A and B are shown apart, each in its own frame.
Chain A
Amino acid sequence: MDFSQQIAQYIVTGLTIGAIYAIVAMGFNIIHNATGIVNFAQCEFISLGGMFMYSLVVLFKVNPIISFFISMAGVALIGALIEIGPIRHARSKEIIVLIFLTIGLSEVLRGIAQEVWGTDNVGVPAFSGENPIHLLGGGTIVPQHIWIFAITVLVMLMLHYFFKKTLMGKAMRATAVNRRAAALVGISVNRITLFSFAFSGALGAVAGIIIAPISTTSYDTGIMLGLKGFAAAILGGYGNFAGAILGGVILGLLESLGAGLVSSQYKDAIAFFILLLVLFLKPTGIMGYGEAERV
């Protein structure tokens, strides 16, 4: 493999990882826009998506396409339950308290997942086989990568349509700008929040499902992916959807090129370091607008 082929491989790999980070980042953004908090239970949404898919496809031998949608629905339901229960009834709406509530909830979910599925990593069959595909210009991928790109693009298009054209989407955008004003024009803020959690659950599940055939899945796969997805969301500008895609792609490429060209031991340190530099130069992320300040 000559140098340009190597670079091509790093770029392809980086884009793949980046796509996953982008989907996770979008999940974080949706909840932030609706409630202003960071939902660390997103990590569990990812793990659970993968594990549900594993149980349905491998253990119960259900058709993969049906399993995909059932898994999404299952995690969406869990997201909704979290909101309608602990989060809505929390006596304090202070952001730091709610953030740590999501951390506590994620520990409960993780503990339950460990009980149900054990601690082993498990594989999920690829959607359409594992035969390598050689790309023009160097680099190889497997069919699963194509699925990942395709589904990510599809999700982005659907989200774009949803937020621009549908009533629910517009209501969510209104809530993000100003909750009180949204309530005043008749938007049920509670319902929006509930829907956001469910939606975010579904997105997290999608991320977990499409990556599972490549990286295997377990009860705690989502922790690292969630953390990096959050970093991608921040990098791109927290709450901004185009930012989520940009942040995801940049983070993925930084990791892959960092490992390939600079140093594989320090690749995470390099990626986070560059993230910090960006934040110091532009405190609201690449495409973010200013955060509403407490006065």
Chain B
Amino acid sequence: MKRKSFMIVVVALTVSFLMGTPFCYSAEPIKIAGIFALTGRAAHIGTSQRDAVILAIDDVNQKGGINGRMLEMVMGDTESNPTKAVMALKKVLESQDVVAIIGPTLTGTAMAMRGFIEKEKIPTFMHSGGDVILKAPLDKKDPNSLPKWTFKSPYKAADAMGKICQYMSKHGIKNIGFLYSNEGFGKDGLRNVMVQAPKYGVTVAAQEAFQPRDIDITAQLTRINAKGIDGIIAWTVGPAMGIIAKNIKQLGIKAPLFECHGAGDPIFWKVAGKAGEGVMMPSTKIVVGDQLPDTDIQKQKIIDYVKAYNEKFKHEPGTMVAYGADAAFIVIEAIKKAGPDRAKIRDAIENTKGYVGMSGIYNISPQDHNGLSMKDIVMIKATKGSWKLLE
């Protein structure tokens, strides 16, 4: 009897010892949520940003994860729709152990999610373009109630516009026509150009809108050209980028064309074809990595990332991939520093200083949840199916 119970105790102890050893111990993965526009009208942007984030996560996991724990992404689809975005948000928050969120894609979906994110107190790094995400106070009556848990990786659209205007004034372009797509992004551009252009001595002589899905924009271009302009800015992302370039060639307009900071993407060449030659735009450095001077601290990181991206996805990354990558990397760095705790991660993100990312050098602070400035933006020119760094 005694020997039997002794054996039982030994077996029990051995089993529990084995269960406690690293051999049988599977470390719990750290979960972050990725909410993107995977279907709907912004699908082509959302899917490429999702790919950028997946690449960053795989990279970390291959190097052993964070303190032995793998990173796992819980995915949500906003369907390019604000209501669905909020539903996707609540769905990923179901699992209490999601420590941070990356995304979404469209500014409208971001604005719908923002209030709930702040209430839920979960750090979220967005890669939507709208400046309003960080600028608009949470409570209309209190102008200081800026978001605490929301961050954003793309540089300010205002800075991108400023870069174009600065370039224009340096090259003697005085009167411009502004052509914008008639939705949030385009109209935001209109507001920005009216502020930025006068700063650099440029006059907006004409402004015209078009619908994002228009197949022909010659009417608007004709009207702009009639006002005698020496430069045109077209503020849109999507097929119109190419249609405008083609229409300009058709009408024989000689004024140079500038497009927005989302145009530096392989899709630009697909939609513009030969007409895209010579179009200029502001961009992140990710598309001209090998043209950067060796003294640029971003250069090596960009070249490595682009190589990995090419290998995995078999095509070049566009400028907006930089936003997705940086959002992921900064969040990952914060988790490394602070551990899987939402509040600590938020603090760590807010104190990110001098982070060398794809989009630029991030200096985040409580007043600036973006951390980039105009010097992180470069002007590029569409040349022979690829991009040439201008300045």
Indicate if A touches B (C-beta under 8 A). Answer: yes
A residues lining the B interface (CB < 8 Å): 1, 6, 9-10, 13-14, 16-17, 20, 114, 118-123, 125, 130, 132, 134, 140-142, 211, 214-216, 218, 220-221, 223-225, 256-257, 259-260, 264-265, 267-268
- Given A130-B249, A260-B219, verify A114-B39 contact (CB < 8 Å): yes
Q: Closest residue of chain A to B39, judged by CB?
A: A114
A19 CA / B116 CA spacing, docked (Å): 48
B220 touches A260 (CB 8 A): yes
A16 touches B251 (CB 8 A): no
B215 touches A20 (CB 8 A): yes
* Contact residues in B for A17 (Cβ distance below 8 Å): 215-216
**Interface members, chain B 12-57 (any A CB < 8 Å):** 39, 41, 43-44, 47
What are 30 of the A-B contact pairs (CB < 8 Å)? A6-B222, A6-B226, A9-B218, A9-B222, A13-B218, A17-B215, A114-B43, A119-B47, A121-B239, A122-B271, A130-B246, A130-B249, A130-B274, A132-B249, A132-B251, A132-B252, A142-B250, A214-B243, A216-B242, A216-B271, A220-B41, A221-B213, A225-B215, A256-B216, A256-B219, A257-B219, A259-B210, A260-B220, A264-B208, A264-B209
At the interface, yes or no: B78 with Cβ under 8 Å from chain A?
A: no
Q: Mark B246-288, 1 if CB is under 8 A from A, else 0.
A: 1001111000000000000001001111110000000000000
CB distance from B181 to the nearest CB of A (A): 10
At the interface, yes or no: B82 with Cβ under 8 Å from chain A?
A: no
Task: Name the contact of A214 in the complex, choosing from B210, B211, B216, B223 (C-beta under 8 A).
Answer: B216
A141 CA / B216 CA spacing, docked (Å): 11
Q: Mark B218-231, 1 if CB is under 8 A from A, else 0.
A: 11101101100000
Task: Name the contact of B251 in the complex, choosing from A14, A20, A140 (C-beta under 8 A).
Answer: A140
A257 CA / B275 CA spacing, docked (Å): 25
* Contact residues in A for B386 (Cβ distance below 8 Å): none
Q: Closest residue of chain A to B269, judged by CB?
A: A123
- Given A123-B242, A215-B239, verify A13-B182 contact (CB < 8 Å): no
A216 CA / B251 CA spacing, docked (Å): 18
* Contact residues in A for B65 (Cβ distance below 8 Å): none
At the interface, yes or no: B115 with Cβ under 8 Å from chain A?
A: no
Task: Name the contact of B225 in the complex, choosing from A1, A114, A268 (C-beta under 8 A).
Answer: A1
A1 CA / B218 CA spacing, docked (Å): 13
- Given A9-B219, A17-B216, A122-B270, verify A140-B252 contact (CB < 8 Å): yes
- Given A215-B216, A215-B243, verify A119-B43 contact (CB < 8 Å): yes
A121 CA / B215 CA spacing, docked (Å): 12
- Given A114-B39, A132-B250, verify A268-B215 contact (CB < 8 Å): no
At the interface, yes or no: B238 with Cβ under 8 Å from chain A?
A: yes
CB distance from B44 to the nearest CB of A (A): 4
A16 touches B216 (CB 8 A): yes
CB distance from A262 to the nearest CB of B (A): 11
A13 CA / B182 CA spacing, docked (Å): 20
CB distance from B70 to the nearest CB of A (A): 29
* Contact residues in A for B220 (Cβ distance below 8 Å): 259-260, 264
B215 touches A118 (CB 8 A): no
**Interface members, chain B 44-95 (any A CB < 8 Å):** 44, 47
CB distance from B33 to the nearest CB of A (A): 22
* Contact residues in B for A216 (Cβ distance below 8 Å): 239, 242-243, 270-271
A223 CA / B239 CA spacing, docked (Å): 14
Q: Closest residue of chain B to A125, judged by CB?
A: B273
CB distance from A128 to the nearest CB of B (A): 14
CB distance from B215 to the nearest CB of A (A): 4
Q: Closest residue of chain A to B187, judged by CB?
A: A265
A134 CA / B208 CA spacing, docked (Å): 24
B273 touches A123 (CB 8 A): yes
Q: Which of A142, A216, A257, A260 is packed against the most chain B CB atoms within 10 Å? A: A216
Known: A9-B251, A119-B44, A264-B223. 16 other contacts (CB 8 A): A6-B223, A9-B219, A9-B222, A123-B270, A130-B275, A132-B249, A132-B251, A211-B215, A214-B243, A215-B243, A216-B239, A221-B239, A223-B213, A264-B182, A264-B209, A264-B220
A133 CA / B208 CA spacing, docked (Å): 25
B242 touches A264 (CB 8 A): no
CB distance from A53 to the nearest CB of B (A): 14
CB distance from A115 to the nearest CB of B (A): 11
B250 touches A260 (CB 8 A): no
A230 CA / B171 CA spacing, docked (Å): 48
* Contact residues in A for B209 (Cβ distance below 8 Å): 264-265
* Contact residues in B for A123 (Cβ distance below 8 Å): 242, 270-273
CB distance from B38 to the nearest CB of A (A): 9
A119 CA / B77 CA spacing, docked (Å): 15
A142 CA / B250 CA spacing, docked (Å): 6
CB distance from A201 to the nearest CB of B (A): 21
A13 touches B243 (CB 8 A): no
A268 CA / B223 CA spacing, docked (Å): 17
* Contact residues in A for B225 (Cβ distance below 8 Å): 1
CB distance from A148 to the nearest CB of B (A): 11
B246 touches A214 (CB 8 A): yes
CB distance from A264 to the nearest CB of B (A): 4
A10 touches B219 (CB 8 A): yes
B210 touches A264 (CB 8 A): yes
A118 CA / B225 CA spacing, docked (Å): 36
A114 CA / B44 CA spacing, docked (Å): 10
Task: Name the contact of A10 in the complex, choosing from B41, B47, B222 (C-beta under 8 A).
Answer: B222
Q: Closest residue of chain B to A17, judged by CB?
A: B216
A258 CA / B80 CA spacing, docked (Å): 30
CB distance from A155 to the nearest CB of B (A): 18
CB distance from B266 to the nearest CB of A (A): 9
A6 CA / B253 CA spacing, docked (Å): 13
A142 CA / B246 CA spacing, docked (Å): 10
* Contact residues in A for B223 (Cβ distance below 8 Å): 6, 259-260, 264
* Contact residues in A for B216 (Cβ distance below 8 Å): 13, 16-17, 214-215, 256
* Contact residues in A for B43 (Cβ distance below 8 Å): 114, 119
The 4 closest A-B CB pairs, nearest first, are: A215-B215, A119-B44, A260-B219, A119-B43
A130 CA / B273 CA spacing, docked (Å): 10
CB distance from A79 to the nearest CB of B (A): 23
B267 touches A120 (CB 8 A): yes
B182 touches A265 (CB 8 A): yes
CB distance from A135 to the nearest CB of B (A): 12
